[in-house]
Amino acid sequence: MSKRVGIIYNPSRKENLEIIEKIEKHLHSKAVSTWRGKVGTENSDWQFLKDSLDFALILGGDGTLLGASRILAPKGIPMFGVNTGHLGFLTEGRPTHALELLDKVLNNEFRIEERAMLCGYILSSDPLNSEQGPMFALNDIVINRGTSYKMVHMTLNVDNRPVADYIADGLIISTPTGSTAYALSAGGAVMDPEIKGVEIVPICAHSLTNRPHIVADNRIITITFNRPHEGTILQIDGQETLEIKHGVKIRITRAVHTAKLIRLLGEESDFYWTIRQKFHWGSLAQQ
């Protein structure tokens, strides 16, 4: 049976279109059919993705892959990222080597790395609109004070037991993948991607006792609000934003599906090699 490969790209980067033309010509010469999809646009192509894909090639930065993961992961479609963006923490290689990298995937010279995702709901007492979701995130789900100048008063509950009260600018609920993103910037720990845990990091908490902590990923996390919080928002992977209205609560669990990342064989796909190269993690200052 012939293979079918999806090509997911960020249309705001003009160079991606030139790369796609070369990739499609290369794939078609190998009797591999292709499908194109865009991320970051209001007129999404995703509704037309009805047939299965063997895998999806993601052209862009980490943000492009995050956006694609929320659509492709529930469908069980593996993703291979080629970095045409900036950091490229989740993607691999550069576009100048795209055809070479793609051939390695076609020749099965890779492994699948399954990354945990979060599933979030906004719960309301309104019987006509009691539940908003599911909302999936590969990096994090963040409560942020948004346009309000006031701090947010929240209570964190784990398995319906109160754990911590926060007066803060917000709260980050992060996967191990997201631990190297916003959570790290806010003082959280770097988590090995294989850890079965969820990191909770307060943002600028007004208390010295509010510290980041990690809970098992089979827990049910619920955030309730103790005061009116007009302007507060919920952010999904930093890309989707929803308003948190008064009287609602947020429930977050591990998603039933994972994001399947295609990782080539070799040290450049190793997590610790990546954080040392990209973040200079553990490097000593040069004399």
Report, as residue numbers or ranges, the catalytic residues: 62
Q: Which residues contact 203 (CB under 8 A, 6 or more apart)?
A: 142, 144, 168, 169, 170, 171, 172, 186
Sign of CA dihedral 171, 177, 181, 184: positive
What is d(CA 43, CA 38) in angstroms, rounded to the nearest whole number?
A: 9
Strand, coil or helix: what is 172?
strand
Task: Catalogue the E-assigned strands of the chain.
Answer: 4-9, 33-38, 55-60, 79-83, 110-123, 131-137, 140-144, 152-158, 161-168, 170-174, 197-203, 213-216, 221-225, 233-236, 240-243, 249-264
